[in-house]
Amino acid sequence: MNRKASSIDRRTAIKTGAAAVAVVAAAGTLAKPYIARAQGEGPIKVPPLPYKDDALAPVISANTIGFHYGKHHTGYATALNTALAGPAKDYASLSLEDIIKTSRANPNRAAVFNAAAQVWNHTFYWNSMRPGGGGEPPAGKLKDEIGKAFGDFAKFKEAFARATIGQFASGWGWLAWDEKDKKLVIQATSNAETPLHRGMKPILTIDVWEHAYYLDYQNRRADYVNAVIDKLINWEFAAKNLG
Ligand code: MN
C-alpha cells in the first residue's frame, strides 16, 4: 500500500471512530473495501468486492482497486444517494435498474442517470473478473453462441479487444445479448452508457475509463484490455448472465 492510500485510510478511520480503526487494522488488504461500505449512506449500496483488493494483481493492482472501488465507485453511489434524498426524491423507491431506465429517458435527469448507471456498471465490472479467470469460456451455451456470432473464440477476442480499446475517451466495452436478434453482440459505450436500456442483456464488461488502468498501465490501454481478457474474465458469471 502506498503512503497516499495509507493516509486516506487513517483519515477515514479517524472519522468513522474507534471501532473502525480496529477493523481497518485487522482487515489488512480489506481496509479499502471496508471504507467503501462505511461511506454507503442511503438506499443505494455498493456491494462488497467479490474478492480481496489485491486478488487481481498483477493485472490490476490493489492500489488501482483501492481508488477505483473505494473512491470512484463509492463516489457514484454517494452522488446518487444525495440526488435521491433531494432533487430526485421521486425516484427513491425505484430499483437501480429502473432509475437507470427512467432517468435515461429524461434529459433533465442526466446527472442521476450518470451516477446510477456508473453504480450498476461498476458492480457488473467487478463481477466480470475473477482471480485466475480469462482465456476461453468452458464448453456450453455461451461458447456455442460466441461461435455462432463471431466464428470462433479467437475472432471474438480480436473483435472484443478492438472495440474496447477503440472506445474513444471514457467508456466501456461490452459483450451483450441482443434480445431482438437473439444473438451476442459487442458494444462500446461512452461515459456511463450501458446496453441495459438498449434492449440488450449485458453479459460482461471491461471499464476503459482512465481511472481503471492509468495507475498500472499509464496510456497502454491495449495492454490492460488484453491482460483482462487473457487472465481475468469471469466466464462463469458471463454464462450465468446469458442464462
Ligand atoms: Mn470505473
pLDDT digits (tens, 9 = 90+) for 89-116: 999 999 999 999 999 999 999 999 999 9
* Region 230-237 average pLDDT: 98
Joined together, the cell numbers standing for residue 183 give 444473438
Percent of the chain with pLDDT over 90: 80
Phi, psi of 200 (to 5 degrees): -120, 150
- Please name the residue that has the C-alpha cell 490490476: 60
Q: Give the residue, 11 or 212, on which the prediction is more confident.
A: 212
Joined together, the cell numbers standing for residue 88 give 430526485
Q: How far is the CA of 68 from the centre of ligand 1 (A)?
A: 6
Q: Give the residue, 22 or 243, on which the prediction is more confident.
A: 243
Are 122 and 205 in contact by the 8 Å Cβ rule? The answer is no
CA-nearest of 74, 73, 80 to 109 is: 80
Provide the residue ranges of all domains of the chain, joining segments of one domain with +: 3-127, 141-242
Q: How far is the CA of 122 from the centre of ligand 1 (A)?
A: 6
Supply the pLDDT for residue 133: 98
CA-nearest of 236, 108, 213, 216 to 167 is: 213
Q: Which CATH class is domain 141-242?
A: alpha beta
Query: How far apart are the C-alpha atoms of 44 and 127, rounded to whole Å?
Result: 18
Supply the pLDDT for residue 8: 38
Max Cα separation, the chain? 57
The Cα-based distances of 90 to 14, 84, 116 in angstroms read 35, 7, 14
Q: How far is the CA of 209 from the centre of ligand 1 (A)?
A: 6
Q: Give the residue, 198 or 182, on which the prediction is more confident.
A: 182
Q: How far is the CA of 72 from the centre of ligand 1 (A)?
A: 6
Query: How far apart are the C-alpha atoms of 58 and 131, rounded to whole Å?
Result: 10
* Residue 40 clears pLDDT 60, i.e. is over it: no
Q: Give the residue, 7 or 48, on which the prediction is more confident.
A: 48
Phi, psi of 170 (to 5 degrees): -75, 145
CB atoms within 10 A of CB 133: 20
> Residue 7 — pLDDT band, cuts 50, 70, 90?
very low
Q: How far is the CA of 110 from the centre of ligand 1 (A)?
A: 18
- Residue 114 CA, chain-centre distance (Å), reads 14
